[in-house]
Every structure is written in C-alpha cells, then in structure tokens.
Amino acid sequence: MNAPVAKDPVLKATACPHDCPSTCALEVELFADGRIGRIKGARANAYTAGVICAKVARYSDRLYHPDRLMQPLKRVGAKGEGRFEPISWDEALDLVASAFLKAEAEHGAQAVWPYHYAGTMGLVQRDSIHRLRHAKGYSRQFDTICTNPAWTGYIAGTGLLAGPDPREIAVSDMVVIWGTNAVSTQVNVMTHAITARKTRGAKIVAIDVYPTQTVKQADLGLVLKPGTDAALACAVMHVLFRDGHADRDYLARYTDCPDALEAHVAQRPPEWAAAITGLSVDEIELFARMVGETKRTFFRLGYGFTRQRNGAVSMHAASCIAAVTGAWQYEGGGAFHNNGAIYTLDKSMIEGHSLIDPAVRQLDQSQIGRVLTGDAEALRHGPPVTAMLIQNTNPVSVAPEQELVKQGFAREDLFVCVHEQFMTETAKMADVVLPATQFLEHDDVYKGGGHQYILLGPKLAEAPGETRENLYVLNEIARRVGAAEHPGFGMSAREHIDWMLKASGFGSLEEIERDRWVDCQPDFRKAHYLDGFNWPDGKFRFKPEWTAVPAPNDGPMGPFADMPTLPDHWAVNEAASEEHPFRLATSPARSFLNSTFNETASSRDKEGRPDLMIGPKDAERLGIADGDRIRIGNRRGAVILHARLTEGLKPGVVVAEGIWPNDAYPDGRGINTLTGADAVAPYGGAAFHDTAVWVRKD
C-alpha cells in the first residue's frame, strides 16, 4: 500500500536564533502533520534578501536528530563517564533545587553560578537566567568570550555601537571585509557586496590571516600575520595623508586631533608595516590608493581580528581610516561593526533589573577553568563555586584553558545541571541533564547585531518528548529555591515579548506578529554621525581615553595602562619564539557555529576531521606531508590532529578551523586546550586567535 502523499506545506515566518550577526529572517515549511520541512531566507526582509547559510537550510538534521535529548537524566556513573538514568521532571528539578540550597547554606548564595551564553540569541530564552541569579543573589557573569575587544575598539572612536545601515553595502563603490570570513559566517554581507559589484562595479577587498573563501572571491585579498591589522591601518592612513586623499575639511570638523594623527602616522610608512604584517609594500600601497580614490567605501569590520590581545587597538585603528577619508559622509561609506546601540530595548522584566545587587561578584565567563579550580583572583576572593546551572553554552568544548576546565568539572564537590538539546561534552560532566527545546519549538524575539531588525521567532512546532523551554526551567527552579518575588517569573515568553516591545516603544506582540519584524534603522544623518559622533564634543576619537570608553565592562583589565594613545601596532600579543615558533588562529568552520552543528552528520561530513592548515614550506622544513598526523602544543597542553597543506599562509602561521568536540581528536583534547584566558585590555575578552605553539610530526 502506498504511503499517503503529504499536502503542500504552508510557509511560516521566524528568525534564526544562532550566534551570528546576520540573525536571518526565515521562512519555514510547515506540513499538516506538524513536521518542519525546508528552511529558506525571507525575500521580503531587505537584509536577509532570501539568502541563508547552508547549515541553517539543513536545520531539519538538528531538529529530528536521533540523538536529541528527550527526557531528564540523572548521573549514575563517574563524572564524564556518560552513564545516566531517566528521571521525572519533578525529581530532576527537586535535585537541582536541593543542590543549590545546599551550596547556599554552606558557602552563601554566590557559591551558585548560573552560566550561559549564546546557544540561542533569543532575548527571553537566553536572558531570563539573569532574573533567577538576581532574585537569589547568585554569582553574576561577566561575558568575555566574544564581544569585548571588538565593541570597545569600535566605540573608542564613535562613542556608540552603531554605524551606517548595513544594507548600504549594496550601494557602495568598495566594500572592505576585514576580519570576517563572510562567505562562511555572514553570507548576507557577501550578498550585498556582490550586488554592489554587479550593479556598480564595486571592488571587494578582504583582509584576513589566511586565504579564506572570502579572500578568494575578493578583487583584492590581503593575507597578513595575526595581530598586525593596526600596522596595516596606520600605513594606509600614512598614504592617505601623504598622497592628498585625507579629507581635511571633514577631519577639522568631525575629529579630535587630526594633526597629531598625521604626525604620528608619518612615522608609519608602508615599509614599516610590511615588515610587521608580512604584506608587500606594493599590496599596502595598492590598498591605500584604492581607499583614497574611492570615497564611497564601506568598511565591514568583523570579530576575527579582535580576538587578539591587541584586538581593541586593532579595531579602533581600522575604524579610523573611514574618518581620515571622510567616507562617513556618503551613502555606502563609513565603518560598521555592530548595531547593538540602536535597539534600546527595555529588558528589565526579562532580566529582573530591580533585583540586582551590585555587591554580588561578577565571574569572568572565559576564566571558568580558573574559577572551578579555585583560583582566588578568578573567584574575586570570594567563596568557591559548588553548584551551576548551564544553559546555551558548552564550556567543556568552547572555553579556553581546557585542561583547567576539565579539572574543574571533574570535582566531586561541584554539582552541575545542564539544560541542553544534545549530550554535549559539558552535559556528560553534569549531575542532572534536562532536555531543551529548539528554536522552532518555543516563542522568542531576536535583534540583529549585523543589521537593524527586531524579529519575532514564534513557536511553530510541538516540543518532542519531554523537552522544555529555558523559561520553564528557570521559573521552576526559582519557585523551588525560594527566589525573591518578581512578576517576570509568572509570565510566558509571549507575555515577556509583548511587555518588552511596549515598554521600549517598538509596538506590541500583536504588531510584530503581523509585520514579522521591526526596522529600527536610524535616519541617514544619525547613522552616519553627520551631526557629530557620540561624544560631548561630537568628535570622532583618534585619541581615546581607553578606560573611559562606554562599553560593557567590569573595570579595567589586562595591561590597559600600556595601550597606545593613537592608532598603532601594539606588540602585546603572544609572540612566536624559538620554543613556540608558530602563531595559531582558531577560526570558524563553515559548517559549524562554535560547537553547534558539530553533532549533525551533514555538517561533520562537510568538515571532514580536525585539521591544521600549514604552509607547504613550513611543512617541508618539519618533514610533514599532507594528511600526516601531527601534534601541536604550548605550556597549556598539546593537541593531535592532521596536517592540511595550504598555500597562501604566511610563514609561521597555522590555522585550525572549527570547534570540534574533544572526542573528535585522537587523544580527546580539543583545540581550546591551547588557548589562553588572560584578560584582554582594556575590558577583558578571550584571545582565541592569539596563541603561540610548536608543531611536530606525531
């Protein structure tokens, strides 16, 4: 008997929940039986423009994965062994509440650390964890894994985390994609850049530390040494002043100290930068000339080149170029990194702001290994962490200093509850594992850092098995541990969305359900700072006061007192040496998103296995052939992977793409074994692409 033919699906609107600036508007095929089919980009959304990445287009691989967690589990074996038994939700939540109350009784409420990050970017499901922490006085979290150096460096110049409309890329005459592999990680940037190329003859320039697909598709691809971006920026500004391409009227009106900058970069010629960056003088001169002769140049500045100890300085230096040329004056011109400041969303109900006690310590997210192994400074000289709730992140794979992280999670006196979609390596270290919904199975709302939309993500499918949304878990724990009363604990996700939109002046749930998204883009003059930058004097800052930059922080950190006062190459990075002669960048893989998607066969098949890109000459000198098993290491540990000989790398530079699970490596040690958690100046951050290593044939 033939199976019944499924009726044509209806298209439903939602938004991508993942940690990507594109935050794509999606259209989802929904069949009559409730199953989800193909996922496409929404053509009606002017930024998504109908284009999404392949990994999200294949989302049914995750949604219907046979290994999804479907019921609460209690550990019955040794930590990390992976032996669990099913329990009821009530039993699981009671165990969690009992452990949290025990930790509080023994060491105070700050012994409990709710730990989260960006597994979902939904404002309700991601950020409600703060309401629980504030209601109990649990340890706060200082977020450092991603944005700190980049945001600080950009805001140092503009005074605000906002810039020109990203859709203007399509009307630019040159698009400079700097420090982001847009082909792999921000496909919409390429959509608009290619539109500009086709319709205006615009040139695309890509700057990165290895020959990415974006570099290969660019009209000019510049591959430089990691951490040398500020040197390139200074040399470009040298040429702009030297050759008469600096807009002196704009500089006089809109910037703080153009004469001091000109005198400073006069000592930073292309020859100086070539020795630092590994670029040729001709490459630097060509790029500078292209910038100088193309007023309508859009600098799309990514996160990659700021994942360095000098990252804030590098971001600031790159953003300064647009101020020297006056590119900000033109549609399709200026420097853009993130539009976070345009939203002004009132998240006080979601996060429980009225309950915040500023005396409660903030623990550095990136230093979780140090926190869990009892480092007094990392603990802010407070009590040990003896209980954790983990949502939306997988620190046993993604956090730096993995050896410390694993030691910490192996502590017998540490209780861990992980709320997850899959049995990640962090979940395997848990005492209680709770099954989580995926984005199509709950309501939420999103904002796009890489564009200007607030987007609704409504529930479209029933949650399978016993999976529950984050909000349910947080509200239930709060009730069981006697959290302070707050109206947010009694609200559904839809009620939270409606409250926030109304309180923020962005309409209501009913309106965003009708319209699908809210376009928050400021007008042209404001977005291009034509009435002045966001400082009291209205001037773009070439000379920032680094510890006064209004970016998220927990006070000055790292060697902030040594930061250069004007744009400059700052040689503070983890330097190559005789013992550690290679610089390692741990760059994103096209088919993974941090550790998300590395559980799906389609993504793993496309990525192959954990490899190390190494230049042919470096490999020959070490007696390494393509595909050889090799070992790389430093004082933090060692990792085994396989060599992939790659043309176009600078000598002494190696690249490992993607956050593979630790168990994908022959000895169970993942790439973040090698990365450090030292705080980046001036406001913290993790220098994931700033690691010195040795390389040997295994």
Most confident listed range (52-56, 57-61, 580-584): 580-584
- Shared domain check, 180 and 118: no
Question: Torsions phi, psi of 304, nearest 5?
Answer: -55, -45
* CA separation for the pair 230, 149 (Å, rounded): 14
Question: Torsions phi, psi of 270, nearest 5?
Answer: -55, -35
* CA separation for the pair 330, 525 (Å, rounded): 10
Q: Is 307 exposed, middle or buried (0-12, 13-18, 19+ CB in 10 A)?
A: buried
- Assess if residue 372 is contained within a domain: yes
Joined together, the tokens standing for residue 81 give 């062994």
Q: What mean pLDDT comes out for the span 269-282?
A: 98
- Assess if residue 271 is contained within a domain: yes
- Whether residue 6 is predicted with pLDDT greater than 70 in this model: the reply is no
Residue the block writes with tokens 């009225």: 354
Percentage of residues in the chain having pLDDT higher than 90? 95
Q: What angle do CA 246, 249, 251 make, to 5 degrees?
A: 60
Please tell me the chain's helix, strand, coil percentages from 3-state DSSP, rounded to the nearest 5: 35, 20, 45
Residue type, 160: L
Residue 280's pLDDT is 98
Q: What mean pLDDT comes out for the span 473-487?
A: 98
| CATH code of the domain covering residue 250 | 3.40.228.10
- Cβ neighbours of residue 4 under 8 Å, at least 6 residues apart? none
Residue 300's pLDDT is 98
Summarize pLDDT for 326-381 with one digit per residue, the tens: 999 999 999 999 999 999 999 999 999 999 999 999 999 999 999 999 999 999 99
- Shared domain check, 382 and 292: no
Strand partners, 222: 207
What does the CA dihedral 422, 424, 429, 434 come to, rounded to 10 degrees? -20
* Whole-number Cα distances in Å, 616 to 123, 210, 299, 619, 649: 46, 14, 32, 5, 9
- Assess if residue 236 is contained within a domain: yes
Mean pLDDT of the chain: 96
Return the HEC string of 447-486.
ECCCCCEEEEECCCCCCCCCCECHHHHHHHHHHHCCCCCC
Residue 601's pLDDT is 86
pLDDT confidence of 94, banded at 50, 70, 90? Answer: very high
- Whether residue 3 is predicted with pLDDT greater than 60 in this model: the reply is no
Residue 4's pLDDT is 42
| CATH code of the domain covering residue 490 | 3.40.50.740
* Whole-number Cα distances in Å, 218 to 1, 98, 207, 287: 55, 57, 9, 12
Q: How many domains does the chain have?
A: 4
Contact 137, 109 (CB under 8 A): yes
- Assess if residue 570 is contained within a domain: no
pLDDT confidence of 513, banded at 50, 70, 90? Answer: very high
Q: What mean pLDDT comes out for the span 611-626?
A: 98
Mark which of 493, 519, 545 sits at the end of a domain: 519
Pairing of strands 432-435, 444-447: unpaired
- Shared domain check, 320 and 244: yes
pLDDT confidence of 590, banded at 50, 70, 90? Answer: confident
DSSP of 249-304? HHHHHHBS-HHHHHHHHTT--HHHHHHHH---HHHHHHHHHHHHH-SSEEEEE-SG
- Whether residue 5 is predicted with pLDDT greater than 60 in this model: the reply is no
Residue 560's pLDDT is 98
pLDDT confidence of 2, banded at 50, 70, 90? Answer: very low
Percentage of residues in the chain having pLDDT higher than 70? 99
- Shared domain check, 174 and 91: no
Residue the block writes with tokens 């006697």: 482
Q: What angle do CA 29, 18, 203 make, to 5 degrees?
A: 95
- Shared domain check, 555 and 513: no
- Assess if residue 171 is contained within a domain: yes
- Whether residue 1 is predicted with pLDDT greater than 60 in this model: the reply is no
Which is it for the CA torsion 547, 553, 555, 559, positive or negative?
negative
> How far out from the chain centre does Cα 62 lie?
21
- Assess if residue 114 is contained within a domain: yes
- Whether residue 597 is predicted with pLDDT greater than 90 in this model: the reply is no
| CATH code of the domain covering residue 634 | 2.40.40.20
| CATH code of the domain covering residue 22 | 2.20.25.90
When comparing pLDDT for 493 and 607, which is higher?
A: 493
- Cβ neighbours of residue 295 under 8 Å, at least 6 residues apart? 173, 325, 326, 327, 329, 330, 333
pTM of the full structure = 0.97
- Shared domain check, 162 and 98: no
- Shared domain check, 553 and 460: no
* Whole-number Cα distances in Å, 24 to 136, 377, 447, 633, 687: 35, 40, 10, 38, 27
Determine the structural domain holding residue 411 and report its residue range: 73-141+347-447+453-519
* CA separation for the pair 279, 382 (Å, rounded): 48
- Shared domain check, 315 and 178: yes
Q: What mean pLDDT comes out for the span 480-493?
A: 97
- Whether residue 110 is predicted with pLDDT greater than 50 in this model: the reply is yes
Question: Torsions phi, psi of 193, nearest 5?
Answer: -65, -40
CB environment 510-533: b (16+ within 10 A), e (fewer) = eebeeebbbebbeeeeebbbeeeb
- Assess if residue 4 is contained within a domain: no
Summarize pLDDT for 130-174 with one digit per residue, the tens: 999 999 999 999 999 999 999 999 999 999 999 999 999 999 999
- Shared domain check, 213 and 315: yes
- Shared domain check, 336 and 215: yes
- Shared domain check, 423 and 315: no
- Shared domain check, 50 and 187: no
- Assess if residue 250 is contained within a domain: yes
